[in-house]
Amino acid sequence: MIKFLRAYVKSMRLYYSFVTGIAGWIGVAYYELLANSPTEKTIEVMPSQEKKIVILFMLFLSWGINQIINDYLGLKADKINAPDRPMVTGELNANKALGLSILILIIASVITWFYLEPIAVLFLLAGVVLNIIYEYAKGHSILGNIVFGLMITMATLYGAHACGPTQASFLAPHRLSGLILVWVINGLMTFYTYFKDYHGDKAVGKKTLVVKYGLQNARFIALFATFLPTITFFVLKVTGMLWIEINNTFIILGCLTIFLQGWTGVLYYRDPTGPRTYESLKTNFRACVCGEATIVAFFNPDLAMWLFIMSYVFVGFLFDLHGNQKA
C-alpha cells in the first residue's frame, strides 16, 4: 500500500498543483471582493478560514487527480515520452490508480455539495470532463491549447462559487475578462510543454502545434507567443472589458511576469529539443502561475504579492525534487 501511494503521489507531479491552486484562488479573491463591496455585493458572505482551507486543498489536489486520469488515457504516448513514469513501468497499477482518483473525486464532490456550495460541483466535474476531452483534443493542433486553458478556468469558477452564495454573473464582460486571462496564460503554458513530448506525440499521430509545424518553425512561434497574455490584457483594457483600476502591485508583478514569459519563449527558441527543453519547464510553470498570482492583485494586492513569491519558490522546489525528466 505504501509503495502504491508513493507511486501515486509521484504521478500527481505536485509542482503542477500551483496551476489549479492559484487559478482557483483568483475566484476566491474575487468573491471576497464582492462580499466586501457595498456596490457589487448581492448575497455574498465572507467565507470562514476553515472553508478557505478546504477550498485551497481541493484546488491543489484537483491537478494531481486529473494528472492520474491524464496518464491513464495517455499511456501509449508516455511509453515514448516518459518511459520511467510509474504507470508506464508498472510501479503504479493503472486501474487501481484510476479507481482511487474516481473515489477521491466522489469524496470531493460530496464535501463540496454538503459543506461548501452545491453549484461548485458543476465546475469540479466540468474540469474532469475537459481533462478527458483534452487528452484527445491535444492531437488536433491549437484545439488542445484551447481546451486546456478552458479546463483551468473551471478552477477559477470553482474557487469563486465554492466560497458561498452569489447572484453575480461571471459571464458579465468585466468578470469574463479575468477568465479570459487565465485561459490565455494556461493555453500558452501547455503549448511549451509540447516541445518535450515532440517525438512521442509525432510517433502516435498527435498533431500538436509543435508536431504540426515542426521544431524549427515552432521555435519562432515560441518566441512570439510570449506576447499573447500581454496583448490580451491591453485589448481587454482598451475595449473596456477590464474595468478594475490598475494598482502598483499589479504593475510590479505584471512586469516580472512579462519577463518570465519572455524568458520562457527565449529558452524554447534556443533549445527546442534536448535535456534543456525539460529544464525550461520550470520557468514555463513559474511564468504561468506567477501570471495567475498577478491577476489576484486586481482584488487583493497584498495576497497577490505573497502568492507570487510563494509560487515562484515552491514551483521550483517541487520541480527539482521530481528530478527524472523521463518520469
- pLDDT per residue of the chain (327 residues) written in tens, 0 to 9: 788 888 888 888 888 899 999 999 999 999 999 999 888 788 999 999 999 999 999 999 888 888 888 888 878 777 877 787 888 888 888 889 889 999 999 999 999 999 999 999 999 999 999 999 998 898 888 999 999 999 999 999 999 999 999 887 777 777 789 999 999 999 999 999 999 888 888 888 888 999 999 999 999 999 999 999 999 999 999 998 887 788 999 999 999 999 999 999 999 999 998 889 989 999 999 999 999 999 999 999 999 999 999 999 999 998 888 766 665
C-alpha span between 57 and 77 (Å, rounded): 30
- Residue 240, phi-psi category: left (phi > 0), alpha (psi -120 to 50), beta (remainder): left
Nearest to 225 by CA among 238, 243, 213, 239: 213
Q: Which residue pairs, CB below 8 angstroms and at least 24 apart, start in 114-117?
A: 115/51, 115/54, 116/51, 116/54, 116/55, 116/162, 116/163, 117/161, 117/162, 117/163, 117/164, 117/165
Q: Are 305 and 5 in contact (CB under 8 A)?
A: no
Nearest to 263 by CA among 275, 281, 245, 246: 281
Radius of gyration of the chain (CA): 19
C-alpha span between 301 and 178 (Å, rounded): 15
Beta bridge partners, 207, equal 140
